[in-house]
């Protein structure tokens, strides 16, 4: 006689905006259930589907499987196949769906960050520098002015990340200044032709990046977004020996980098490195990554979004690089540690 083992599964849902578990209708192989619900599953494939929104109107964010061993699995989709095999059939677990608005904390400033290569770059090698935004609320448009030493690095390509489109699917324009000839833009497709290339001969010493993007509103249909992530990625070639630098023009310059909310007011922001979490004032970047930053993320290691002291500011990266996964794990600690000692160029 063959005895088929099975695993016990508890299915639940949590609303981060409310800070509590909620009831949602989900389907398992097209059969309807209501959370919380206990299941016993044998070997096989099981299709789970969770709703787009909970009963309070907050959108689906992701799922986690929390195993009895203490390990976990992150699932971005709300509709997925879960396989129970011979190897995991006796491992009881909790499957939990999470609903919430995008991570934001008013305890910290809005950060325009620059993400430099961590490993040394040799002459002739290509590399990328990303510019992104963390902890922003109601973002409707942005504009970036940045400079780089052209003897050391030559700009090859500017890539649009469709940042303003990623939450509500809003139409948007991405503009690249072609420095007096004509502008190029996407919508998000190319309208006016040409390559999105940096201006390598802005002056005798520096090249220039000047790009911007805005949501195209339709009678108020598309609000500003509350989110985090890269807004633009620039590919370079290392031209000569020397330090890779990328200077973001700030508001003490004639032309500067800024963010706009849906009322077209400028959003106060600071500019620094992606791993710069704190400084002399707790939770405010100070232009360098030192032991204070490493200690801050390490102190919160293992914390999840259900913890009352959860701080999304410390959730630097996840399954996708520089995306939230709502847990402070070794990926976050490693990202800050790898940037230890870096100073933001001014």
Q: Tens digits of per-residue pLDDT, 134-176?
A: 999 999 999 999 999 999 999 999 988 888 887 777 888 888 8
What are 275's two structure tokens? 């791993």
Same domain, yes or no: 92 and 214: no
Q: Which helix (H) or strand (E) holds 335?
A: helix 330-338
Counted domains in the chain: 3
Residue 104, in any domain of the structure: no
CATH number for the domain that contains residue 71: 2.60.40
Same domain, yes or no: 21 and 119: no
Domain final residue, candidates 274, 292, 313: 274
Write out the residue range of the structural domain in which residue 40 sits: 7-99
Residue 2, in any domain of the structure: no
Tell me which long-range contacts 284-293 makes (C-beta under 8 A, separation of at least 24).
284/108, 284/109, 285/109, 285/111, 287/343, 287/344, 287/346, 288/342, 288/343, 288/344, 289/336, 289/339, 289/340, 289/341, 289/342, 289/343, 290/340, 290/341, 291/340, 293/336, 293/340
Amino acid 90: pLDDT: 61
Q: Tens digits of per-residue pLDDT, 63-103?
A: 999 988 888 899 989 999 998 887 666 678 999 999 987 77
pTM, full prediction: 0.82
Residue 42, in any domain of the structure: yes
Q: Averaged over 218-239, what is the pLDDT?
A: 87
Same domain, yes or no: 82 and 29: yes
**Alpha-carbon span 108 to 342, nearest angstrom:** 21
Domain final residue, candidates 64, 80, 99: 99
Same domain, yes or no: 116 and 257: yes
* Residue 165, SS3 per DSSP: helix
Q: Tens digits of per-residue pLDDT, 92-127?
A: 899 999 998 777 888 999 999 999 988 889 999 999
Same domain, yes or no: 145 and 256: yes
CATH number for the domain that contains residue 313: 1.10.1330.10
Amino acid 162: pLDDT: 85
Domain final residue, candidates 254, 274, 294: 274
Same domain, yes or no: 233 and 305: no
Same domain, yes or no: 147 and 263: yes
């Amino acid at each position: 006689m063959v005895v088929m083992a099975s695993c016990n599964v508890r299915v639940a849902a949590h609303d981060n905006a409310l800070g509590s578990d909620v009831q949602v209708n989900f389907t398992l192989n097209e059969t309807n259930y209501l959370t919380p619900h206990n299941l016993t599953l044998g070997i096989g494939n099981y299709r789970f589907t969770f709703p787009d929104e909970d009963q309070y109107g907050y959108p689906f964010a992701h799922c986690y499987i929390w195993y009895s061993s203490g390990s976990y699995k992150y699932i971005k989709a709300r509709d997925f196949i879960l396989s129970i095999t011979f190897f995991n059939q006796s491992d009881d677990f909790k499957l939990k769906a999470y609903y919430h608005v995008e991570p934001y904390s008013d305890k910290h400033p809005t950060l325009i960050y620059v993400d430099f290569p961590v490993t040394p770059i040799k002459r002739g090698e290509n590399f990328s520098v990303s510019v992104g935004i963390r902890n922003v609320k109601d973002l409707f448009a942005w504009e970036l002015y940045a400079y780089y030493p052209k003897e050391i690095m030559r700009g090859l390509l500017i890539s649009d990340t469709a940042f303003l489109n990623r939450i509500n699917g809003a139409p948007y324009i991405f503009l690249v200044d072609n420095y007096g000839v004509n502008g190029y833009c996407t919508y998000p497709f190319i309208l006016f032709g040409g390559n999105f290339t940096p201006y390598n001969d802005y002056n005798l010493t520096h090249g220039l990046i000047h790009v911007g993007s805005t949501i195209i509103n339709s009678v108020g249909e598309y609000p500003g977004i509350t989110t985090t992530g890269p807004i633009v990625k620039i590919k370079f070639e290392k031209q000569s020996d020397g330090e890779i630098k990328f200077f973001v023009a700030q508001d003490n310059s004639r032309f500067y980098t800024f963010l706009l909310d849906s009322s077209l007011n400028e959003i106060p922001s600071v500019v620094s490195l992606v791993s710069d979490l704190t400084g002399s004032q707790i939770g405010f970047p100070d232009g360098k990554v030192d032991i204070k930053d490493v200690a801050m993320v390490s102190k919160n290691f293992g914390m999840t979004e259900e913890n009352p002291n959860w701080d999304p500011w410390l959730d630097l990266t996840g399954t996708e690089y520089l995306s939230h996964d709502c847990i402070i794990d070794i990926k976050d600690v490693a990202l800050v540690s790898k940037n230890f000692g870096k100073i933001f160029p001014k």
